[in-house]
A and B are shown apart, each in its own frame.
Chain A
Amino acid sequence: AQKITQTQPGMFVQEKEAVTLDCTYDTSDQSYGLFWYKQPSSGEMIFLIYQGSYDEQNATEGRYSLNFQKARKSANLVISASQLGDSAMYFCAMRFTGGGNKLTFGTGTQLKVEL
């Protein structure tokens, strides 16, 4: 079975600091995709970054980077230079080849950016 684990229910970070949100996954598939989404209090799920299992380089999108360690089955999200607007829930998700279009989500991490 495919599973995503986010062990940090809540995180605090000071403005302008970097923060790492943890995500581990479990799959026997060789081909899969990993996603991070941000969900502000308004409810919308905002796509942040994607990593394919065969991508050799870590994905980056602006201040977001994905620290992909395939052997350890981890896909941590790194947010550099945190801003107050980064305060939100962050979800890690996985799409595996055998699952069609299905995304499996983790339970999320609530990030609070402080002054």
Chain B
Amino acid sequence: ETGVTQTPRHLVMGMTNKKSLKCEQHLGHNAMYWYKQSAKKPLELMFVYNFKEQTENNSVPSRFSPECPNSSHLFLHLHTLQPEDSALYLCASSQDRRGTHQGETQYFGPGTRLLVL
């Protein structure tokens, strides 16, 4: 079982659509992440939220818009995507102990497989 859930698991959308990906963590963590995994490429970190505040935006195009209303929920709003945005989008969470330890494990959800037509 996983303490991080993601919906939907699969999504097909046109380039003019607007959709949202949802992530929920049940682990009591205070940091959440969005990653993009494209075929034959390493995982790419997109966004990081600590204590509901965005602390990292890894040069992600504005057609991806994250939202973190509380420490348990994370959304990724999508609009006017391109075919090259087709990928597996993974959400993760961890317990951030602000600079005191280097080993906070990130726990991942099952991902959303996105296909942009």
Contact = CB atoms under 8 A, between A and B. Distances in A.
Interface of A: 4, 31-33, 35, 37, 42-47, 50, 52-53, 91, 95-97, 100-103, 105-108
Contacts of B96: 101
A20 to B, nearest CB: 21
Contacts, number: 69
Contact of A44 (B31, B33, B111): B111
B102 A52 contact: yes
Nearest to B94: A101
A75 B103 CA distance: 15
Given A47-B107, A108-B42, 11 more contacts: A35-B105, A43-B88, A45-B43, A47-B106, A50-B105, A52-B103, A102-B48, A103-B45, A105-B42, A105-B43, A106-B42
Nearest to A103: B106
- Residue among A32, A53, A96, A101 with most chain B CB within 10 A: A101
A45 B106 CA distance: 10
Contacts of B103: 33, 50, 52, 95
Contacts of B2: 44
Contacts of A4: 42
Interface of B: 2, 31, 33, 40-43, 45, 48, 50, 55-56, 88, 90, 92, 94, 96, 99, 102-111, 113
B92 to A, nearest CB: 7
B100 to A, nearest CB: 10
Contacts of A53: 102
A50 B103 CA distance: 8
Contacts of A46: 108
Contact of A47 (B56, B88, B105, B110): B105
Given A47-B105, A101-B33, A91 B110 contact: no
A102 B35 CA distance: 11
- Residue among B2, B108, B110 with most chain A CB within 10 A: B108
Nearest to B31: A101
Contacts of B56: 100-102
